[in-house]
Amino acid sequence: MNNYALSISFIDNKLLLKFSGELSLYSITTLQKQLNTQNILKIKDIQIDLEEVCFIDTATAIFINNLLIKYEKLDIKVSVNLNSKDIKDTLELVKNQKLHSDKLPSPDKESFLYSVGKYIYIYYISLLSFLNFLGNLFTTKIYYLKSIKNIRFKEIAFEINESGVKALPIISLTSFLIGLVVAYQSSYQLKIYGANIFLVDMLGISILRELAPLITAIVIAGRSGSAFTAQIGAMKITEELDAMRTMGFDPYIFLVMPRILALMLVMPILIFVADMMGVLGGMLVASLDLQITPTLFIDRFNEVVAPKHFFIGILKGPFFAFLIATIGIYRGLMVKNDTQSIGFNTTKSVVESIFAVIICDAIFSIVFTNLGI
């Protein structure tokens, strides 16, 4: 049953809007429909009568104020009759609040220096957080390697299988194709000068020293590094890390160290496999395109490719593995309590790992070149 009403009438060429009863949010739609049926284009004077209204809420007050503003914009003289002080105060409150809201200042645009400073501060805080993670990592590593009883061989073996053994097919195929492509592109240029045999020199040194370690690290960063981030991040969202700490288990010992040690142990093996497959791909092209038999290829390879190039490539493996595993796990620990954060940090872990590997490889190249190695 409705306890409100709106009476619309014309008195001496004036439109009289007489409201009565209790006006609330639920009555606004009905009242608006009644008002929409009236043609006010020729009306010059409107009287709003609220004397018989016993209650209005703020929604109705906004509705009445909007009516007043609308009629004033149409150059219509509007008058309001009311006796209740409470209704008058409600109308004034809504009107003053609207005027106050209209005057809210717009936010100032950030200056260039402010934006630069903000991003520098964000990266500075991120650097401190990463250094704190490395400090905890090395502290745990010292404790971890203090006694053989602390080493969790079962977890390390599991991670070696996940990060190394299962990665052999993709590493082998990628390295084989890289050796194939490099040899094929080089052979085209070498045939012009009749220097076919020098393909073995270039291929052996470039694959053993640079390409195999770098390609292996990039593939592992995309495969295992991202997996570390996703696994640790999912455990953080499901509060498994907090549960481990509550039960007295250190996540660094049970989750972090086995992954890092496993990847550092298996990376040289993966690089060795990449060396063999890359050289095999080059040997195949040399045999088919340059008529260099496998026997001649191997003999030339033994003559011109020094063992140091092989050992330099293998030496890079643990360093690359440490960077990939550390960044991947750190990004996993940085995951917030939402699934979108997992995708964001997984992407960042892959990008940052590849960037760190390339920087590390460049440092190795500079150092070994200056040392004459």
- The single residue listed with the structure tokens 């060795």 is 272
Average pLDDT over residues 45-67: 83
Residue ending a domain, among 69, 84, 102, is: 102
Whether this prediction's pTM lies above 0.75 is answered by no
How high does pLDDT run on average in the chain? 85
CATH number at residue 26: 3.30.750.24
Quick: pLDDT tens for 220-264.
999 999 999 999 998 888 888 888 888 888 788 888 888 999 999
- Domain co-membership, 193 together with 332: yes
Q: What sections of the chain are H helices per DSSP? A: 28-36, 58-73, 85-102, 112-144, 153-163, 168-193, 198-206, 212-220, 226-237, 240-246, 251, 257-289, 294-304, 307-333, 339-371
Per-residue HEC secondary structure of 60-125 comes to HHHHHHHHHHHHHHCCCEEEEECCCHHHHHHHHHHHHHHHHHHCCCCCCCCCHHHHHHHHHHHHHH
* Rg of the chain over all Cα atoms, to the nearest angstrom: 38
Distance CA 175, CA 268 (A): 14
Is pLDDT at 100 greater than 60 in this prediction? no
The structure tokens listed for 42 are 């020729």
> Are residue 186 and residue 322 in the same domain, yes or no?
yes
Select from 121, 123, 115, 6 the least CA-distant residue to 53: 6
261-271: average pLDDT: 93
Examine the domain organization and report whether 235 and 347 are in the same domain: yes
- pLDDT at res. 134: 86
Q: Tell me which residue range forms the domain holding 297.
A: 152-371
Question: What one-letter code names the amino acid at 232?
Answer: I
Based on the fold, state whether residues 130 and 201 are members of the same structural domain: no
User: Looking at residue 106, what is its pLDDT?
Assistant: 59
User: Are 64 and 98 part of one and the same domain?
Assistant: yes
**Tokens 């004397």 belong to residue:** 51
Same domain, 184 and 127: no
Per-residue confidence band for 361, with pLDDT thresholds at 50, 70 and 90: very high
User: At which of 120, 147, 174 does a domain end?
Assistant: 147
pLDDT tens profile 102-119: 555 556 677 788 888 888
Mean pLDDT (whole number) for 53-76: 82
For residues 115 and 157, membership in a common domain is answered with: no
pLDDT greater than 80 at residue 98: no
| Residue with token string 């972090």 | 256
Share of the chain above pLDDT 90, in %: 30
Residues 221 and 86 in one domain: no
Same domain, 216 and 194: yes
Pairing status of strand 14-23 against strand 77-81: unpaired
Q: Which two tokens stand for residue 36?
A: 């929409």
In this predicted structure, what is the pLDDT of residue 354? 94
The verdict on 212 and 122 lying in the same domain is no
Confidence tier at 363 by pLDDT (50, 70, 90): very high
Q: Are residues 73 and 92 in the same domain?
A: yes
Q: How many domains does the chain have?
A: 3
Half-sphere exposure of 193 (CA within 13 A, CB side): 8
pLDDT tops 60 at residue 50: yes
Q: Are residues 139 and 12 in the same domain?
A: no
